Amino acid sequence: PELKSTGFARDLADYTQEQGWQTYGDVVVRFEQSSNLHTGQFRARGTVNPDVETHPPVIDCARPQSNHAFGAEPGVAPM
């Protein structure tokens, strides 16, 4: 399958979030040809655009978990 810049940017953004990293703005990918690389190879380089406004952190919408432990159901022997 052909690697598209938008798909690769999405993969990089997902990886960044999974690692707990933050970016100042959107992840943007551009492909450029290089005679130093073989077919199927690519080189990644990152830069920061200082003029981009920061995004607020992504808030996890999952409900908070209870710290309360439930006991065994009545009539069930403890494990």
For 8-17, what is each residue's pLDDT tens digit?
A: 888 888 998 9
> What residues does each domain of the chain span?
1-49
Q: Which fold has domain 1-49?
A: hypothetical protein PF0899 fold (3.30.2320)
* HEC letters along 4-50: CHHHHHHHHHHHHHHCCCCCCCCCCCCCCCCCCCCCCCCCCCCCCCC
* Per-residue pLDDT at 5: 81
For 17-56, what is each residue's pLDDT tens digit?
A: 999 988 877 777 888 888 998 888 888 777 777 777 766 6
pTM of the model: 0.47
